[in-house]
């Protein structure tokens, strides 16, 4: 059947049968005023009309009733609208039809957020936490259904991931059973093949002659337990289904004479890609010189291809080094190259020409391939409580294909990782090595999360990692709630005025330096939070530091001691500088010492803001 519907921009229809349903519908309409349309009146006809007119329908109706009304109208999942059902009490938003293709899973999540309901998603891939191969944000082709099934069934799936310059084309985490050849269990036969490539050669038609074992990557890529050596070439059964993911790795540079026809541009583009064995699905933009901003044939070709067209100034193109400069072009345009230079300029640092300039009568084209950029996320996990892990941190953990961290922190969040995430956990003291591993993995093109408790930049891994990281990787910092912030919230308001954090660990910092800072904080009347305050082997530093503060502060100065802030074993003591028993302090503790104005009010530690208007 056909709908008079614009699948991309049509409205979200709201259909309700009861007062409660209409009230919930009002809330959605208020949240998305320009995107919703009400369908009132008898519910059967209303639902049928909404289904015909909308890109998505939210029915405040039982799933059974909805299915009975819509069953006779169902067409193709690629064209039918998404349908989400919300129950009378507004507790559940059920993705009923069009989970992936129609966007019902995503809509159920959005509806749930507005209504405070729970999204119910039953699509196999989403429910298992495994991405559907068609939802990885890359065009996908080949036998998607069969390969997805093999992935979900836990069968051995061969991952063939192209590299550019030794860097892997990007990929989200995939389940354990999807592995590159070098990591395949000995003797196992691939039940399916998943290829990540911008090349068409062999795609969808496994070529028995094609190499099956990509070069073994360096050590950090090896799965835990070894397997970093190339294995023998794998025999892939000819009947094994193959799916292909197309990363957005290519940029087309175009040049044209005045009056070129769109057909000529499209023809040259198509033959160039075909003859070079490159997939049009991996091209994500076009580029040319700004003088061609009004060249109708180019604009029409870009529109037909559905790709954005970058316009580069002549001077910018003249500055790009290209293999095939032309003096004739320089004379006419002012730059010795348009297509090659524009492609390279749009493809960014480190890009290479995959296809040098090719010509037809009035048009030139060149193809640049981007250098893959890895991503290093520095993720603070917060002080311990799960609900103090930020949604952004959670999203980065789920996005990572590789996780690097101290083993105890890894255990704190292991259940949040997507199946197949490579975990590289190590013990205390291996900071440098962890930082190096994380940066190396990102340099190889992977999405890496490097985790730390509290904030990853506070006495933690961000510094050693960024001391080594170059500008060839993307770095994303996700702030976390520090131990000091968590402890302060438990104690009251001890950090209400100027404060300093001081680590008492003299493993990497000479004691003289620590002592000088404690003295300065004492003289400056800063509230002081001591990190790493005391361990079995380091027991004299805390008393020494407190003695220095005591030279400038009254013995009655409030001190808060918080062990395991926000964790199950949280223990808080409010005492004074004169009476603190340091034996209650260990390494999972912070000690907060007030300034000369800090008071205990109703059992809570409070440092006044100290503004004059308060006096
Ligand atoms: N990046 C962390 C600090 C790591 S240094 C942050 O931003 O908080 C390790 C020290 O932090 C420990 O010795 C202890 O002093 C402190 N710490 C970490 N978590 C804590 C918690 N939940 N409760 C109390 N102190 C904690």
Please check the confidence at residue 244 and state whether its pLDDT lies above 80.
yes
User: Which numeric CATH code is attached to 250-369?
Assistant: 3.30.420.180
Q: How much distance in Å is there from the Cα of 459 to the middle of ligand 1?
A: 9
Mean pLDDT of the chain: 89
What pLDDT does 202 receive?
A: 52
| Confidence (pLDDT) at 8 | 58
Please give the Cα distance from 534 to 589 (Å, whole number).
8
- What average pLDDT does range 184-191 have in this prediction? 86
**Rounded distance from Cα 493 to ligand 1 centre (Å):** 18
Q: Is 290 in a helix, a strand, or coil?
A: helix
Which CATH topology does 375-481 take? Cobalt-precorrin-4 Transmethylase; domain 1 (3.40.1010)
pLDDT for position 215? 40
Average pLDDT over residues 325-333: 91
Distance 473 CA to ligand 1 centre (A): 29
Same fold, 250-369 and 484-606: no
Protein residues whose CB sits closer than 6 Å to any atom of ligand 1: 383-384, 452-455, 458-460, 482-483, 487, 531-533, 562, 564-565, 567, 587-590
Q: According to the model, what pLDDT value does residue 260 have?
A: 96
- For domain 484-606, give the fold: 3.30.950
CA dihedral 185, 423, 472, 201 (to 10 degrees): 30
What distance in angstroms lies between residue 483's CA and the mean position of ligand 1's atoms?
A: 5
Q: Which residues contact 404 (CB under 8 A, 6 or more apart)?
A: 424, 425, 434, 437, 438, 441, 448, 449, 450, 451
Q: What is the mean pLDDT of residues 294-299?
A: 96
| Ligand 1 pocket, mutate which of 588, 591, 592, 593 (most atoms under 8 A from CB) | 588
- Reported as a single tens digit per residue, the pLDDT across 361-420 is 999 999 999 999 899 999 999 999 999 999 999 999 988 989 999 999 999 999 988 877
Whether 357 shows a pLDDT value over 60: the answer reads yes
The H-assigned helical ranges of 456-572 are 462-468, 483-491, 511-523, 541-550
Q: Note the pLDDT of residue 217.
A: 42
β-bridge mates for residue 91, sequence order: none
Q: Give Cα 471 distance to the centre of its chain.
A: 19
Name the token pair of 581: 């028993």
Average pLDDT over residues 146-167: 88
Q: Assess whether pLDDT exceeds 80 at residue 101.
A: no
pLDDT at position 137: 73
Average of per-residue pLDDT across 591-603 = 97
Reply yes or no on whether the pLDDT at 439 is more than 80. yes
CA-based nearest residue to 351, from 214, 255, 472, 441 = 472
CA distance 352 to 368: 6
- Calculate mean pLDDT across residues 267-273: 97
**pLDDT for residue 230:** 43
Return the ligand 1 atom nearest residue 564 CA. Answer: 23
Q: What is the mean pLDDT of residues 188-214?
A: 67
Residue from 379, 390, 453 to probe ligand 1 pocket by mutation (most atoms less than 8 Å from CB)? 453
Pocket test for ligand 1, best of 590, 591, 592, 593 (most atoms within 8 A of CB): 590
Q: Which of 112-121, 355-364, 528-537, 538-547 has the lowest mean pLDDT?
A: 112-121
pLDDT confidence bin for 130, thresholds 50/70/90: low
Which 8-state DSSP code applies to residue 79? T
Q: Which structure tokens are listed for 329?
A: 């072009």
Instruction: Say if residue 222's pLDDT is above 80.
Output: no
Residue 595 Cα, ligand 1 centroid: separation in angstroms? 21
Distance 588 CA to ligand 1 centre (A): 6
How many whole angstroms separate alpha carbon 585 and alpha carbon 542?
9
Residue closest via CA to ligand 1's atom 20 equals 483
pLDDT of residue 576: 98
Asked if pLDDT for residue 596 goes beyond 80, the answer is: yes
Q: What is the pLDDT of residue 223?
A: 40
**How sure is the predictor about 154, in pLDDT bands with cuts at 50, 70 and 90?**
confident
Rounded distance between C-alpha atoms, residue 33 and residue 11, angstroms = 10
Average pLDDT of the residues in 118-144? 79
- The domain 6-122: what is its CATH number? 3.40.50.11220
Q: How far apart are CA 50 and CA 59, in angstroms?
A: 10
Read out DSSP for 296-361? HHHHHHHHHHT--EEEE-HHHHHTS--SS--HHHHHHHSSS-SHHHHHHHHH-TT-EEEEEEEE-S
The CA dihedral of 200, 201, 204, 206, to the nearest 10 degrees, is: -160
CA dist., res. 266 & res. 199, Å (int): 19
pLDDT of residue 3: 42
532 CA: nearest ligand 1 atom: 13
Q: How far is the CA of 454 from the centre of ligand 1 (A)?
A: 7
Note the pLDDT of residue 211: 39
Token code pair at residue 232: 């023998």
- Mean pLDDT throughout 32-48? 92
Residues 55-74 pLDDT 10s: 999 999 999 999 999 999 99
Give the per-residue pLDDT at 232: 54
Structure tokens at 8: 């991309």
- Among 96-105, 278-287, 372-381, which stretch is predicted with the lowest mean pLDDT? 96-105
| Alpha carbon distances (Å) from 434 to 219, 336, 377, 397, 480 | 13, 47, 14, 17, 19
> How much is the average pLDDT of 548-571?
97
- What percentage of the chain exceeds 70 in pLDDT? 91
Least confident range of 120-124, 191-195, 581-585: 120-124
458 alpha carbon – ligand 1 mean position (Å): 9
Residue 127's pLDDT band, with cuts at 50, 70 and 90, is low
Residue with the smallest CA separation from ligand 1 atom 9 is: 532
CA distance 345 to 593: 56
Kindly state the average pLDDT of the residues 430-445. Answer: 92
More confident residue, 534 or 224: 534
Query: How do residues 462-516 score in pLDDT, each as one tens digit?
Result: 999 999 999 999 999 999 999 999 999 999 999 999 999 999 998 889 999 999 9
The whole-number pLDDT of residue 184 equals: 83
In this prediction, residue 208 carries a pLDDT of 35
Distance 520 CA to ligand 1 centre (A): 23
**Secondary structure element (H or E) that encloses residue 425, with its range:** strand 422-426
pLDDT band at 274 (very low <50, low <70, confident <90, very high): very high
What are the Cα distances from residue 114, in Å, to 23, 28, 30, 111, 230? 13, 7, 10, 5, 51
Q: How many whole angstroms from 455 Cα to the centroid of ligand 1?
A: 9
Top-confidence range, 167-181, 187-201, 412-426, 595-609: 595-609
Listed by start position, the domains of the chain span: 6-122, 250-369, 375-481, 484-606
Determine the Cα–Cα distance for residues 589 and 453; give it in Å rounded to an integer.
13
pLDDT bin (cut points 50, 70, 90) of residue 455 is very high
CB 417 within 8 A of CB 397: yes
For residue 173, pLDDT beyond 80: no
DSSP strands (E only) in 427-508: 447-452, 474-478, 492-493, 499-503
Residue 179 has pLDDT above 90, yes or no: no
For residue 570, give the ligand 1 atom closest to its CA: 23
Q: State the average pLDDT over residues 268-275.
A: 97
Give the pLDDT score at 76: 86
pTM of the model: 0.74
């Amino acid at each position: 059947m056909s709908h008079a519907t614009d699948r991309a921009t049509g409205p979200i229809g709201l259909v309700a049968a009861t007062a409660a349903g209409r009230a919930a519908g009002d809330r959605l309409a208020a949240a998305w005023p320009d995107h919703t349309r009400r369908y009132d009146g008898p519910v059967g006809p209303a639902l049928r009309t909404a289904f015909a007119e909308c890109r998505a329908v939210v029915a405040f109706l039982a799933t059974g009733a909805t299915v009975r009304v819509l069953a006779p109208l169902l067409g193709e999942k690629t064209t039918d609208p998404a349908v989400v059902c919300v129950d009378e009490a507004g507790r559940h938003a059920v993705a009923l039809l069009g989970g992936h293709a129609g966007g019902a899973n995503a809509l159920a999540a959005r509806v749930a957020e507005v209504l405070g309901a729970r999204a119910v998603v039953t699509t196999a891939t989403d429910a298992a936490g495994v991405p559907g191969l068609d939802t990885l944000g890359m065009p996908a082709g080949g036998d998607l259904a069969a390969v997805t099934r093999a992935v979900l069934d836990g069968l051995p799936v061969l991952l063939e991931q192209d590299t550019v310059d030794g860097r892997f084309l990007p990929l989200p985490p995939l389940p354990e059973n999807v592995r590159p050849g070098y990591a395949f269990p000995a003797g196992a036969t691939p039940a399916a093949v998943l290829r990540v490539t911008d090349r068409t050669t062999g795609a969808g038609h496994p070529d028995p002659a094609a190499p099956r074992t990509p070069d073994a990557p360096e050590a950090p890529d090896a799965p835990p337990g070894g397997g970093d050596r190339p294995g023998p070439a794998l025999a892939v059964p000819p009947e094994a289904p193959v799916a292909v993911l197309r990363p957005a790795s290519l940029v087309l540079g175009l040049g044209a004479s005045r009056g070129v026809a769109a057909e000529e541009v499209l023809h040259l583009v198509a033959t160039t890609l075909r003859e070079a064995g490159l997939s049009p699905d991996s091209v994500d933009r076009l580029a040319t010189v700004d003088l061609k901003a009004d060249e109708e044939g180019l604009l029409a070709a870009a529109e037909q291809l559905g790709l954005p067209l970058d316009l580069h100034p002549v001077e910018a193109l003249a500055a790009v080094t290209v293999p095939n400069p032309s003096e004739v072009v320089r004379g006419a345009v002012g730059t010795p190259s348009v297509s090659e230079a524009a492609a390279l300029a749009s493809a960014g640092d480190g890009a290479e020409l995959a296809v040098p300039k090719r010509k037809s009568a009035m048009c030139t084209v060149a193809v640049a391939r981007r250098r893959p950029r890895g991503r290093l996320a520095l993720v603070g996990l917060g002080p311990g409580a799960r609900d103090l892990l930020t949604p952004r941190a959670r999203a980065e953990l789920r996005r990572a294909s590789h996780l690097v961290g101290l083993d105890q922190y890894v255990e704190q969040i292991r259940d949040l990782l997507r199946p197949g995430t490579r975990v590289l956990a190590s013990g205390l003291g291996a900071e440098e090595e962890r930082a190096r591993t994380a940066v190396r993995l990102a340099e190889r093109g992977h999405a890496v999360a490097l985790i730390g408790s509290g904030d990853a930049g506070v006495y933690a891994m961000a510094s050693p990692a960024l001391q080594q990281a170059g500008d060839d990787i993307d770095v994303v910092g996700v702030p976390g709630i520090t131990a000091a912030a968590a402890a302060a919230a438990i104690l009251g308001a001890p950090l209400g005025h100027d404060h300093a954090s001081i680590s008492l660990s003299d493993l990497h910092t000479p004691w003289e330096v620590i002592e000088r800072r404690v003295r300065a904080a004492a003289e400056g009347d800063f509230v002081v939070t001591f990190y790493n305050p005391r361990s079995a082997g380091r027991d004299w530093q805390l008393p020494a530091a407190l003695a220095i503060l005591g030279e400038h502060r009254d013995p009655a100065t409030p001190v808060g001691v918080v062990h395991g802030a926000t964790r199950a074993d949280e223990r808080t003591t409010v005492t004074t500088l004169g009476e603190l028993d340091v034996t209650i302090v260990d390494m999972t503790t912070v000690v907060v010492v007030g300034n000369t104005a800090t008071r205990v009010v109703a059992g809570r530690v409070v440092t006044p803001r100290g503004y004059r208007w308060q006096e």
